[in-house]
A and B are shown apart, each in its own frame.
Chain A
Amino acid sequence: MRKDILIVAFIALLIAVVISGTKIQSVEEYYLTHIDDITEDSETVFISIDARAALDNWDDLESELQSEKYVPKDGMILEETEYVLRPKDTVFDILQRTTRHHQIHMEYQGANENIYNSVYIQGINQLYEFSAGPLSGWMYAVNGEFPDHGVGKYTLEDGDVIEFKYTTDLGRDVQDN
């Protein structure tokens, strides 16, 4: 009788294990596969990719790009999204992770390929510099400020809000000042 009770308890335990998941990981494995999970303790940043200015200047846009595929109806290629901030992450690191994870096209020029000695963002979602006139291209702001530092050199802090904005007027259409 006692044995039966033990067996029943054992079965109940095993069923409980199966229901709660059988993924058993080492600490390193857990760390690696959960590095981008947002928990209460994680430091995070927010990123959005905004091409609304291209909507306002639709006629200046290269005709091949005049499509919802490249400029969504509301102009937002990526709504504000929260990402885990890893130590020493730059704006470029976050942008690269974001675009990869969301499978958004992004092309950049490596720091050794240009005179600025810093990574340079050439195009996002097929929108490139000069795609909508001579003054168009990508800019970015952190917490509403446009730093103009190379994206690869701007190290982020917890809670920073990054906005990538497509400008058609050297920044005047997306900047307040």
Chain B
Amino acid sequence: MFRNRSTIKTIASIIIVLLLLFPSFGEREQHTVHGEKKKSLESEVNIKELETSIIDIINWKKSQNEPYANILFTNDFLENAGDSSTDWYVLGLGRAGLEDDFASYLAVIKDTVEKRYQTDEKLSTSKATEWHRISLAILSAGGDPTNVGTDDNGDVIDLIADGTYNRGDTTRALGSQGINGWIWGLITLDSLRYNVPDNAVETRNSMIEEILRAQLEDGGFSLNTHEKDSNVDLTAMAIQALAPYYNSEETYTYEQISTDKKVTKKVRDVVDEALQLLSELQLDDGDYELTGLSNVESTAQVTVALTALGIDPLQDERFIKNGNTLLDAVLRYQMPDGGFIHSGTLDEENDYADPNESNSMASEQVLYTFISLYRLYDEKRVLYDFRKEMSDEVVQKVNDASEAIEQLPDKTTSANEDQVEKAFQLYEDVPISERSYVYNYSNLADAMETLKIDNSSEYLAEHIGENDKGNGNNIALFTKTDSASSDEAFTKEDKVKVDELLAEKVSTEFYVEVVTFLDKLYHEDTEQIYKKTIPKLEEKKKEIEEIEEDLEQLNQKILDDLYPFNDISTEDKEVVDEVIERYETLTSYDQEKIQGYEDVEKAAIQINNLTRAKYIAVSIIIIVVGAGVLLVIRYRKRKQETRHQKMLDYED
């Protein structure tokens, strides 16, 4: 799909020739954001092909829906809203700004979160990443994760507070699942550059430090801090989390867990070490492997990590091996149906992934990887930054600073002092919360250090907080219309569907539909005549919820009362009959949700048999008694007859 390296080189040289001939040719490319100087026709072409690949993945995923629908977020798909199988696709479509039924996702996830918050463990006892994934998906759908319905006390559910800075408050600490919790917690906290309140359990710096502490001796990261070798995926994710602080001059002094040694480092030092390791670990074909197996996800995560730092993976020599780029490697996993496979060889460790069949996890990771790359070339915010795109004025400031830094000579001498100071001035003009987008800042920092110029730039961690709440912003990458705000009003066709729905037998099958229609009806724009439908639908929703509760009870009852099977006796008849009766009233869709129903049937047969056996035993006993009585009577009769006979004989 994508041109190989040699054609890229050919085109690059053609461009250079064109630039020499027509100096104005490259003008458009001169005004690029983020100092991405080499922005060239290549990426113009790549961007088109990236778009095609992105659309192909989504179309493949849609083809997995049965029956096929124009949208991905069908009712069936949304039934798993809040699970990893669904949420990452919501992120993909949202960050590409593609159209889909985001309003329904938001309606269903709100309902799901509210329900899960009613349990003790809320979203999960120990996995903070549940909060993170769901928050990012809500932002991607254009929603606000700080305001997701209400809990039992009527308090607004704030997934950002509960899932990041206050995570250790009522639930277990962010790190209880390991470094994953810190990494995704920080990514989520920075997704809208949320402010951290003064009385919070964690601060940005405490979270950053937890990640830094977990760095291994080889420079990378792993789930296990006592492991010798780093894990590519986690190293890449750690870089993604630390990227917003790459330009910070703040130093951190901490005890590194793997070595027990006290070290003092900047985030930039740690990220550079991790990048160095990733560069070394890249294979000759541009790919990466995890526990010895080349796979698309590792390579995808490295690509996302580079885009988070504004590094173009197609240009940076550290990540090109024998002319093979990360993109070349990822595309080797592409299937004709548009999806991606996990690995080319059967993974003994993960045999869920067929080497010949597109795989959901592989495809979702490639999807957002391509989007992150597209956003880099299209000069948009990085993948996990959900703030509004920068204003033209801010873009100009970022560009000015980046260009001034680009102009600095490779080796600065005191002769360049003015130039360096001017560049620093321009950098300082960039708002603090946008400084991470001056991707080449580290060159400036190096020059200032060489020239012993005081670098007084503000520490980023304490200054990048911007928002307390708000919706995620997702502009359409490929078309001109914004799509994530696709809440539509309730229509005539919807009314017809709702009437059909109300006529249906109560079943959990229709829950998602009911929830999404209700959400539409609550919408302010909805016409008044339709509002009358609300109480009916609310009633339906309640009925379905009762069925849901019933299912749970029934499952529990079966589990509690019908095991162990050998102890089943006729005394259990009442329970079994009740279970069967309740089961019979369910729709077949709900009947499938009853676990171990075969055991109920088995128990019913057992009880029947036992009852029958009892009857048989009783009748036999009656017969035996009857026969015995008969025997006795006959015996007596005979005895009497004999006596009678004897008497007659005697008289004779």
List, in ascending order, chain A residues with CB within 8 A of B617's CB.
Answer: 18, 22
Known contacts A15-B624, A24-B612, A114-B84; A101 and B126 CB within 8 A of each other = no
Contact in complex: B630, A7 (CB < 8 Å): yes
Q: With an 8 A cutoff between CB atoms, is B606 at the interface? A: yes
* Nearest CB in chain B to that of A3: its residue: B634
CA distance A115 to B358 in the complex (A): 12
Known contacts A24-B612, A129-B126, A170-B224; A8 and B176 CB within 8 A of each other = no
Contact in complex: A33, B83 (CB < 8 Å): no
Q: How many chain B residues have a CB neighbour from A under 8 Å?
A: 56
* Nearest CB in chain A to that of B347: its residue: A148
Contact in complex: B350, A14 (CB < 8 Å): no
Contact in complex: A134, B620 (CB < 8 Å): no
CA distance A102 to B563 in the complex (A): 7
Q: Taking the nearest CB of chain B, how far is it from the CB of A74, in angstroms?
A: 22
Give the residues from 144 to 177 in chain A that come closer than 8 angstroms, CB to CB, to chain B: 148-150, 153, 169-170
Known contacts A113-B83, A170-B223; A33 and B609 CB within 8 A of each other = yes
Contact in complex: B127, A100 (CB < 8 Å): no
Q: With an 8 A cutoff between CB atoms, is A112 at the interface? A: yes
Q: With an 8 A cutoff between CB atoms, is A130 at the interface? A: yes
Contact in complex: A23, B631 (CB < 8 Å): no
Known contacts A14-B623, A33-B606; A112 and B85 CB within 8 A of each other = yes
Known contacts A23-B610, A114-B85, A117-B360; A134 and B352 CB within 8 A of each other = no
CA distance A103 to B361 in the complex (A): 34
Contact in complex: A135, B178 (CB < 8 Å): yes
List, in ascending order, chain A residues with CB within 8 A of B179's CB.
Answer: 134
Q: Taking the nearest CB of chain B, how far is it from the CB of A54, in angstroms?
A: 14
* Nearest CB in chain A to that of B125: its residue: A128
Question: For B178, B223, B348, B595, which residue has the most chain A Cβ atoms within 10 angstroms?
Answer: B178
- Return the CB mask of A41-59 against B: 1 if under 8 Å, else 0: 0000000000000000000
- Return the CB mask of B594-614 against A: 1 if under 8 Å, else 0: 011001011001100110111
Q: Which of B172, B601, B628 contacts A11 (CB 8 A)?
A: B628
Contact in complex: A115, B559 (CB < 8 Å): no
Q: With an 8 A cutoff between CB atoms, is B80 at the interface? A: yes
How many CB-defined contacts (below 8 Å) exist between A and B?
130
Known contacts A116-B350, A118-B352; A100 and B627 CB within 8 A of each other = no
List, in ascending order, chain A residues with CB within 8 A of B175's CB.
Answer: 134
Q: With an 8 A cutoff between CB atoms, is A68 at the interface? A: no
Q: With an 8 A cutoff between CB atoms, is B349 at the interface? A: yes
List, in ascending order, chain A residues with CB within 8 A of B564's CB.
Answer: 101-103
Q: Taking the nearest CB of chain A, how far is it from the CB of B293, in angstroms?
A: 12
Known contacts A33-B609, A103-B560; A116 and B224 CB within 8 A of each other = no
List, in ascending order, chain A residues with CB within 8 A of B559's CB.
Answer: 100, 103
CA distance A30 to B361 in the complex (A): 45
List, in ascending order, chain A residues with CB within 8 A of B612's CB.
Answer: 22-24
Q: Which of B83, B224, B616 contacts A114 (CB 8 A)?
A: B83
Give the residues from 110 to 151 in chain A that come closer than 8 angstroms, CB to CB, to chain B: 112-118, 128-131, 133-135, 148-150
Give the residues from 1 to 33 in chain A that come closer than 8 angstroms, CB to CB, to chain B: 3-4, 7-8, 10-11, 14-15, 17-18, 21-25, 29, 32-33
Q: With an 8 A cutoff between CB atoms, is A36 at the interface? A: yes
Contact in complex: B609, A128 (CB < 8 Å): no
CA distance A148 to B423 in the complex (A): 54
Q: With an 8 A cutoff between CB atoms, is A82 at the interface? A: no
Q: With an 8 A cutoff between CB atoms, is B190 at the interface? A: no
CA distance A15 to B620 in the complex (A): 8
Known contacts A8-B631, A130-B126, A131-B126; A23 and B613 CB within 8 A of each other = yes
Q: With an 8 A cutoff between CB atoms, is A62 at the interface? A: yes
Q: With an 8 A cutoff between CB atoms, is B328 at the interface? A: no
- Return the CB mask of A73-114 against B: 1 if under 8 Å, else 0: 000000000000000000000001000111100000100111
* Nearest CB in chain B to that of A134: its residue: B178
Q: Which of B85, B181, B224, B614 contacts A115 (CB 8 A)?
A: B85
Known contacts A62-B172, A150-B351; A25 and B85 CB within 8 A of each other = no
Known contacts A62-B125, A170-B223; A4 and B635 CB within 8 A of each other = yes
Q: Taking the nearest CB of chain B, how far is it from the CB of A22, in angstroms?
A: 4
Contact in complex: A169, B224 (CB < 8 Å): yes
Contact in complex: B83, A7 (CB < 8 Å): no
Q: Taking the nearest CB of chain A, how far is it from the CB of B82, in angstroms?
A: 10
Contact in complex: A115, B364 (CB < 8 Å): yes
* Nearest CB in chain A to that of B76: its residue: A112
Q: Taking the nearest CB of chain A, how far is it from the CB of B474, in angstroms?
A: 23
* Nearest CB in chain A to that of B558: its residue: A100
CA distance A125 to B80 in the complex (A): 25
- Return the CB mask of B347-382 against A: 1 if under 8 Å, else 0: 011111000000111001000000000000000000
List, in ascending order, chain A residues with CB within 8 A of B352's CB.
Answer: 116-118, 149-150, 153
List, in ascending order, chain A residues with CB within 8 A of B595's CB.
Answer: 96, 100
* Nearest CB in chain B to that of A154: its residue: B351
CA distance A98 to B643 in the complex (A): 70
Question: For A23, A36, A112, which residue has the most chain B Cβ atoms within 10 angstroms?
Answer: A23
Can you list 29 residue pairs at the A/B interface with Cβ under 8 Å? A7-B627, A11-B631, A14-B620, A14-B623, A14-B624, A15-B624, A22-B614, A22-B616, A22-B620, A23-B610, A62-B125, A102-B564, A103-B563, A112-B85, A113-B80, A114-B83, A115-B360, A116-B352, A117-B359, A118-B352, A128-B126, A134-B179, A134-B180, A134-B181, A135-B178, A135-B224, A148-B349, A150-B352, A170-B224
- 8 pairs of A and B residues whose beta carbons are closest in the complex: A134-B178, A130-B126, A115-B361, A22-B616, A23-B613, A22-B613, A22-B617, A130-B177
Chain B residues close to A by CB (< 8 Å): 80, 83-85, 88, 125-127, 172, 175-181, 223-224, 348-352, 359-361, 364, 559-560, 563-565, 595-596, 599, 601-602, 605-606, 609-610, 612-614, 616-617, 620-621, 623-624, 627-628, 630-631, 634-635
> Apart from A11-B628, A130-B125, A149-B352, what are 13 other A-B pairs with CB-CB below 8 Å?
A7-B631, A11-B624, A17-B620, A18-B624, A21-B613, A24-B609, A62-B126, A100-B563, A102-B563, A103-B559, A134-B179, A148-B349, A170-B224
Chain A residues close to B by CB (< 8 Å): 3-4, 7-8, 10-11, 14-15, 17-18, 21-25, 29, 32-33, 35-36, 62, 96, 100-103, 109, 112-118, 128-131, 133-135, 148-150, 153, 169-170
